[in-house]
Structure 1
C-alpha cells in the first residue's frame, strides 16, 4: 500500500533536493511512497485536497509547530507530524529520516 508524505520546508528550495534523495532511496528499497513538498505557507492548501500519512517538517519550520498543528486540526487531517533532526537534514541522511516514518 502506498504511503503519502508531504515534506514541509521554509521556501521549497531545499525540499526539492531532499525529495530526489528520498525517492532514490525508496526506489532502491522497492518501497511505494508518494512524496510531495510545499513551503509552510501552502500547508493548508495542500491539506484541503489530500490527507497525507505523514507531514515531514524540516528543522527551519519547527518554529511554526503550533500554527501547523492548528491547520492540521482545522482541516481534520489525520497526518502524523514528524520533525527532521537538524543533523539529518543538514547531511541529507535520508535513511534516518525514513526510519522515523
Structure 2
C-alpha cells in the first residue's frame, strides 16, 4: 500500500537531502511511498491539495507544532504527525525514521 509523506522543514535545504536518502532506502526495501517536502510557510498550501498519510516534522520546526496541528485540523486532514529525532535528522539515519512510519 502506498503512503504519502510530507516532510516539513524550516527552509527546505536539508530536507531535500533527507528526501533523497529516504527514497533510496525505500526503493531498496521495495516500499511504495511518495515523499514531498515543504517549509512551514507552505504547509497549508500543500494540505489544501493533498491529504498526506504522514507529516514528518524536522527538529527545527518542532516549535511550530501548534500551528501545524491547527492547519491539519482546518484542512480536515487525517495525517499522522511524527517528529524526527534531532540525532536521526543530524546523521540522516533514514532507517530509524522509516521505522516510525
TM over 0.5: yes
> What root-mean-square deviation, in Å, do the aligned CA atoms of Structure 1 and Structure 2 show?
0.4
Aligned residue runs from structure 1 range 48-87, under 5 A: 48-87=48-87
Q: Structure 1: give runs of 5+ residues left out of the alignment.
A: none
Q: CA deviation at 1:64?
A: 0.2
| Partner secondary structure for residue 41 of structure 1 | helix
- What's the offset of the Cα at 1:40? 0.5
Paired residue for 1:23? Answer: 23
- Following the alignment from structure 2 to structure 1, what is the Cα–Cα distance between the partners of residues 28 and 36? 19
TM-score by length of 1: 0.99
- Compute the TM-score of the two structures, normalised by the length of structure 2: 0.99
| 1:20-62 Cα deviation digits (max 9, x unpaired) | 0000000000100000000010000000000000000000000
* 2:88 aligned with 1:88: yes
Aligned length: 101
Partner deviation per Cα, 1:48-93 (whole Å, 9 max, x = no partner): 0000000000000000000000000000000000000000000000
Q: Mapping of 1:26-37 within 5 angstroms?
A: 26-37=26-37
Q: For residue 97 of structure 2, what is the aligned residue in structure 1?
A: 97
Q: Please give the alpha-carbon distance, in whole angstroms, between the structure 2 residues aligned to 1:85 and 1:16.
A: 17
Post-superposition shift, 1:7? 0.3
Q: CA deviation at 1:94?
A: 0.3
Residue matched to 2:5: 5
